[in-house]
Amino acid sequence: MTEAPATCPDTLTLARRRLSMAAATWFMTAAAGQWAFIAFIVLFFTPPLLHGDPLAMNSKPHVSGWVPGDAVGNSQFVAHVFLGALVTLSGLLQLVPAIRRRWPALHRWNGRLFMLTALVASVTGFYLTWVRGSQLNLSSALSTSLNGVLILAFVALAWRSALQRDIATHRRQALRAWVLVNGVWFLRIGIMLAGLGLMPFGVEMHYDGVVFLGVSFASWLLPLALLQLYFAAERAPTPRAPNVAAAALFALAGLTAAGSAAAVAFMWWPYL
Protein backbone atom coordinates (compact mmCIF):
# COMPACT_ATOMS: atom_id res chain seq x y z
CA MET A 1 0.00 0.00 0.00
CA THR A 2 1.55 3.27 -1.08
CA GLU A 3 1.51 6.35 1.11
CA ALA A 4 -0.29 9.50 -0.04
CA PRO A 5 2.11 12.10 -1.38
CA ALA A 6 2.96 14.85 1.09
CA THR A 7 1.79 18.37 0.36
CA CYS A 8 4.41 20.39 -1.47
CA PRO A 9 5.85 22.86 1.07
CA ASP A 10 6.26 25.50 -1.62
CA THR A 11 2.56 25.33 -2.48
CA LEU A 12 1.61 25.76 1.16
CA THR A 13 4.06 28.62 1.57
CA LEU A 14 2.61 30.39 -1.47
CA ALA A 15 -0.92 29.89 -0.14
CA ARG A 16 0.03 31.42 3.20
CA ARG A 17 1.70 34.35 1.46
CA ARG A 18 -1.46 34.86 -0.58
CA LEU A 19 -3.48 34.81 2.64
CA SER A 20 -1.21 37.45 4.20
CA MET A 21 -1.48 39.61 1.08
CA ALA A 22 -5.27 39.33 1.09
CA ALA A 23 -5.42 40.23 4.79
CA ALA A 24 -3.21 43.26 4.17
CA THR A 25 -5.38 44.32 1.22
CA TRP A 26 -8.54 44.10 3.31
CA PHE A 27 -6.90 45.98 6.16
CA MET A 28 -5.87 48.84 3.86
CA THR A 29 -9.42 49.22 2.53
CA ALA A 30 -10.80 49.06 6.06
CA ALA A 31 -8.22 51.60 7.26
CA ALA A 32 -9.28 54.03 4.54
CA GLY A 33 -12.91 53.70 5.59
CA GLN A 34 -12.06 54.09 9.27
CA TRP A 35 -9.94 57.19 8.61
CA ALA A 36 -13.01 58.66 6.89
CA PHE A 37 -15.08 57.74 9.96
CA ILE A 38 -12.57 59.42 12.30
CA ALA A 39 -12.42 62.52 10.09
CA PHE A 40 -16.21 62.83 10.13
CA ILE A 41 -16.38 62.60 13.93
CA VAL A 42 -13.71 65.28 14.38
CA LEU A 43 -15.03 67.62 11.68
CA PHE A 44 -18.70 67.29 12.60
CA PHE A 45 -18.66 67.24 16.41
CA THR A 46 -15.73 69.51 17.26
CA PRO A 47 -16.92 72.88 15.79
CA PRO A 48 -20.23 72.99 17.73
CA LEU A 49 -18.37 72.44 21.00
CA LEU A 50 -15.71 75.02 20.21
CA HIS A 51 -18.33 77.58 19.14
CA GLY A 52 -20.55 76.96 22.16
CA ASP A 53 -23.45 75.67 20.08
CA PRO A 54 -23.79 71.98 21.06
CA LEU A 55 -27.32 71.75 19.66
CA ALA A 56 -25.75 71.97 16.19
CA MET A 57 -24.62 68.38 16.75
CA ASN A 58 -28.26 67.36 16.34
CA SER A 59 -28.28 68.49 12.70
CA LYS A 60 -27.36 64.89 11.91
CA PRO A 61 -30.04 62.56 13.29
CA HIS A 62 -29.00 60.56 16.37
CA VAL A 63 -30.96 58.19 18.52
CA SER A 64 -30.52 60.88 21.17
CA GLY A 65 -27.93 63.58 20.76
CA TRP A 66 -27.50 66.73 22.81
CA VAL A 67 -30.43 67.17 25.19
CA PRO A 68 -30.67 70.58 26.94
CA GLY A 69 -30.48 70.21 30.72
CA ASP A 70 -29.16 66.62 30.68
CA ALA A 71 -25.61 67.32 31.88
CA VAL A 72 -24.75 63.71 32.70
CA GLY A 73 -26.26 62.27 29.54
CA ASN A 74 -24.65 64.93 27.36
CA SER A 75 -21.24 64.30 28.88
CA GLN A 76 -21.65 60.58 28.25
CA PHE A 77 -22.77 61.26 24.68
CA VAL A 78 -19.79 63.52 23.88
CA ALA A 79 -17.34 61.18 25.61
CA HIS A 80 -18.70 58.19 23.71
CA VAL A 81 -18.43 59.97 20.36
CA PHE A 82 -14.84 61.16 20.78
CA LEU A 83 -13.69 57.96 22.48
CA GLY A 84 -15.06 56.16 19.43
CA ALA A 85 -12.74 58.20 17.23
CA LEU A 86 -9.79 57.67 19.58
CA VAL A 87 -10.22 53.91 19.92
CA THR A 88 -10.59 53.57 16.13
CA LEU A 89 -7.36 55.49 15.58
CA SER A 90 -5.53 53.61 18.31
CA GLY A 91 -6.70 50.26 16.92
CA LEU A 92 -5.48 51.13 13.43
CA LEU A 93 -2.02 52.03 14.76
CA GLN A 94 -1.84 48.76 16.70
CA LEU A 95 -2.20 46.73 13.51
CA VAL A 96 0.56 48.47 11.54
CA PRO A 97 3.46 45.94 11.41
CA ALA A 98 6.13 48.65 11.03
CA ILE A 99 5.14 50.19 14.37
CA ARG A 100 5.35 46.84 16.15
CA ARG A 101 8.80 46.15 14.69
CA ARG A 102 10.43 49.57 14.92
CA TRP A 103 8.78 51.07 18.00
CA PRO A 104 7.74 48.21 20.30
CA ALA A 105 7.39 50.56 23.28
CA LEU A 106 4.93 52.70 21.31
CA HIS A 107 3.04 49.53 20.38
CA ARG A 108 2.77 48.52 24.04
CA TRP A 109 1.64 51.92 25.29
CA ASN A 110 -0.79 52.36 22.41
CA GLY A 111 -2.15 48.92 23.21
CA ARG A 112 -2.83 50.06 26.77
CA LEU A 113 -4.55 53.16 25.41
CA PHE A 114 -6.66 51.03 23.07
CA MET A 115 -7.78 48.71 25.86
CA LEU A 116 -8.57 51.52 28.32
CA THR A 117 -10.46 53.53 25.69
CA ALA A 118 -12.41 50.46 24.60
CA LEU A 119 -13.44 49.81 28.20
CA VAL A 120 -14.59 53.38 28.87
CA ALA A 121 -16.35 53.68 25.50
CA SER A 122 -18.23 50.45 26.22
CA VAL A 123 -19.32 51.68 29.65
CA THR A 124 -20.57 54.99 28.22
CA GLY A 125 -22.39 53.00 25.55
CA PHE A 126 -24.16 50.94 28.22
CA TYR A 127 -25.20 54.15 30.00
CA LEU A 128 -26.53 55.75 26.83
CA THR A 129 -28.44 52.62 25.87
CA TRP A 130 -29.98 51.51 29.15
CA VAL A 131 -30.02 54.63 31.36
CA ARG A 132 -30.56 57.42 28.86
CA GLY A 133 -32.66 55.21 26.59
CA SER A 134 -30.69 55.82 23.38
CA GLN A 135 -32.00 52.85 21.42
CA LEU A 136 -33.95 52.28 18.25
CA ASN A 137 -35.65 49.22 19.67
CA LEU A 138 -35.00 46.48 22.21
CA SER A 139 -33.47 44.05 19.70
CA SER A 140 -30.87 46.50 18.40
CA ALA A 141 -30.10 47.56 21.98
CA LEU A 142 -29.48 43.93 22.93
CA SER A 143 -27.21 43.51 19.90
CA THR A 144 -25.19 46.58 20.83
CA SER A 145 -24.95 45.51 24.46
CA LEU A 146 -23.84 41.97 23.62
CA ASN A 147 -21.17 43.52 21.44
CA GLY A 148 -20.10 45.68 24.39
CA VAL A 149 -19.98 42.73 26.80
CA LEU A 150 -17.75 40.80 24.40
CA ILE A 151 -15.48 43.85 24.04
CA LEU A 152 -14.98 43.87 27.82
CA ALA A 153 -14.33 40.13 27.84
CA PHE A 154 -11.77 40.07 25.03
CA VAL A 155 -9.99 43.20 26.26
CA ALA A 156 -9.58 41.46 29.63
CA LEU A 157 -8.33 38.27 27.94
CA ALA A 158 -5.90 40.23 25.76
CA TRP A 159 -4.58 42.07 28.82
CA ARG A 160 -4.13 38.84 30.77
CA SER A 161 -2.28 37.08 27.95
CA ALA A 162 -0.02 40.12 27.55
CA LEU A 163 0.88 39.99 31.25
CA GLN A 164 1.62 36.28 30.85
CA ARG A 165 3.87 37.04 27.83
CA ASP A 166 1.76 34.64 25.75
CA ILE A 167 2.18 36.57 22.51
CA ALA A 168 0.28 34.16 20.25
CA THR A 169 -2.79 34.15 22.49
CA HIS A 170 -2.52 37.90 23.04
CA ARG A 171 -2.56 38.49 19.28
CA ARG A 172 -5.73 36.45 18.81
CA GLN A 173 -7.59 38.00 21.74
CA ALA A 174 -6.52 41.54 20.80
CA LEU A 175 -7.69 41.04 17.21
CA ARG A 176 -11.03 39.78 18.48
CA ALA A 177 -11.32 42.88 20.66
CA TRP A 178 -10.39 45.08 17.67
CA VAL A 179 -13.06 43.49 15.48
CA LEU A 180 -15.71 43.95 18.17
CA VAL A 181 -14.70 47.54 18.92
CA ASN A 182 -15.25 48.31 15.25
CA GLY A 183 -18.77 46.90 15.35
CA VAL A 184 -20.22 50.43 15.07
CA TRP A 185 -18.18 51.00 11.92
CA PHE A 186 -19.08 47.60 10.45
CA LEU A 187 -22.73 48.44 11.17
CA ARG A 188 -22.55 51.55 9.00
CA ILE A 189 -20.84 49.63 6.21
CA GLY A 190 -23.45 46.88 6.50
CA ILE A 191 -26.33 49.36 6.38
CA MET A 192 -24.93 50.87 3.20
CA LEU A 193 -24.33 47.51 1.53
CA ALA A 194 -27.76 46.18 2.52
CA GLY A 195 -29.44 49.38 1.33
CA LEU A 196 -27.63 49.28 -1.99
CA GLY A 197 -28.44 45.58 -2.38
CA LEU A 198 -32.15 46.13 -1.80
CA MET A 199 -32.39 49.21 -4.01
CA PRO A 200 -32.74 47.35 -7.36
CA PHE A 201 -35.77 45.56 -5.93
CA GLY A 202 -37.44 48.78 -4.86
CA VAL A 203 -37.19 47.84 -1.19
CA GLU A 204 -36.19 50.33 1.49
CA MET A 205 -34.51 49.30 4.72
CA HIS A 206 -36.29 50.50 7.88
CA TYR A 207 -34.62 50.75 11.26
CA ASP A 208 -37.38 48.72 12.87
CA GLY A 209 -37.37 46.03 10.17
CA VAL A 210 -35.91 42.55 10.04
CA VAL A 211 -33.14 43.52 7.59
CA PHE A 212 -31.73 46.16 9.92
CA LEU A 213 -31.97 43.74 12.85
CA GLY A 214 -29.99 41.18 10.85
CA VAL A 215 -27.38 43.76 9.88
CA SER A 216 -27.14 44.88 13.51
CA PHE A 217 -26.19 41.41 14.77
CA ALA A 218 -24.12 40.58 11.68
CA SER A 219 -22.06 43.76 12.14
CA TRP A 220 -20.11 42.09 14.94
CA LEU A 221 -20.97 38.39 14.68
CA LEU A 222 -19.89 38.01 11.04
CA PRO A 223 -16.50 39.76 11.38
CA LEU A 224 -15.80 37.73 14.52
CA ALA A 225 -16.63 34.47 12.71
CA LEU A 226 -14.53 35.43 9.69
CA LEU A 227 -11.60 36.27 11.96
CA GLN A 228 -11.87 32.80 13.50
CA LEU A 229 -11.79 31.28 10.00
CA TYR A 230 -8.70 33.37 9.24
CA PHE A 231 -6.98 31.99 12.34
CA ALA A 232 -7.83 28.45 11.23
CA ALA A 233 -6.54 29.12 7.70
CA GLU A 234 -3.24 30.41 9.10
CA ARG A 235 -2.65 27.08 10.84
CA ALA A 236 -4.03 24.82 8.08
CA PRO A 237 -1.60 22.06 6.98
CA THR A 238 -2.73 22.18 3.34
CA PRO A 239 -3.02 25.11 0.90
CA ARG A 240 -6.77 24.77 0.34
CA ALA A 241 -7.94 26.66 3.43
CA PRO A 242 -5.49 29.58 3.03
CA ASN A 243 -6.42 29.91 -0.65
CA VAL A 244 -10.16 29.92 0.09
CA ALA A 245 -9.70 32.42 2.93
CA ALA A 246 -7.53 34.62 0.69
CA ALA A 247 -10.19 34.67 -2.03
CA ALA A 248 -12.83 35.58 0.56
CA LEU A 249 -10.69 38.40 1.95
CA PHE A 250 -10.05 39.86 -1.50
CA ALA A 251 -13.81 39.83 -2.15
CA LEU A 252 -14.47 41.40 1.26
CA ALA A 253 -11.94 44.12 0.49
CA GLY A 254 -14.03 45.11 -2.51
CA LEU A 255 -17.24 45.10 -0.46
CA THR A 256 -15.57 47.10 2.30
CA ALA A 257 -14.38 49.70 -0.18
CA ALA A 258 -17.86 49.96 -1.69
CA GLY A 259 -19.56 50.21 1.70
CA SER A 260 -17.08 52.80 2.93
CA ALA A 261 -17.51 54.92 -0.19
CA ALA A 262 -21.30 54.75 0.21
CA ALA A 263 -21.05 55.72 3.90
CA VAL A 264 -18.92 58.74 3.00
CA ALA A 265 -21.31 59.76 0.22
CA PHE A 266 -24.61 59.29 2.09
CA MET A 267 -23.89 59.21 5.85
CA TRP A 268 -21.02 61.60 6.48
CA TRP A 269 -20.18 64.05 3.67
CA PRO A 270 -23.68 65.60 3.40
CA TYR A 271 -23.45 66.77 7.03
CA LEU A 272 -20.05 68.47 6.79
Each residue's pLDDT tens digit, 113-162: 999 999 999 999 999 999 998 888 888 899 999 999 999 999 999 999 99
Question: Does the pLDDT value for residue 5 go beyond 80?
Answer: no
What is the structure's pLDDT at 225? 94
Over residues 187-207, the pLDDT tens digits come to 999 999 998 887 776 677 777
What is the structure's pLDDT at 8? 52
Question: Does the pLDDT value for residue 58 go beyond 60?
Answer: yes
The answer to whether 210 touches 198, Cβ cutoff 8 Å, is no
The answer to whether 71 touches 58, Cβ cutoff 8 Å, is no
Question: Cα dihedral sign for 244, 232, 225, 193?
Answer: negative
CA distance 25 to 31: 10
What pTM value is reported for the model?
Answer: 0.91
Over residues 74-90, the pLDDT tens digits come to 999 999 999 999 999 99
Question: What are φ and ψ of residue 74, in 5° steps?
Answer: -65, -40
Question: Does the pLDDT value for residue 71 go beyond 90?
Answer: yes
Over residues 94-118, the pLDDT tens digits come to 999 899 899 999 999 999 999 999 9
CA distance 158 to 177: 8
The answer to whether 39 touches 27, Cβ cutoff 8 Å, is no
Q: What is the mean pLDDT of the chain?
A: 91
CA distance 95 to 152: 19
CA distance 245 to 252: 10
What is the structure's pLDDT at 137? 86
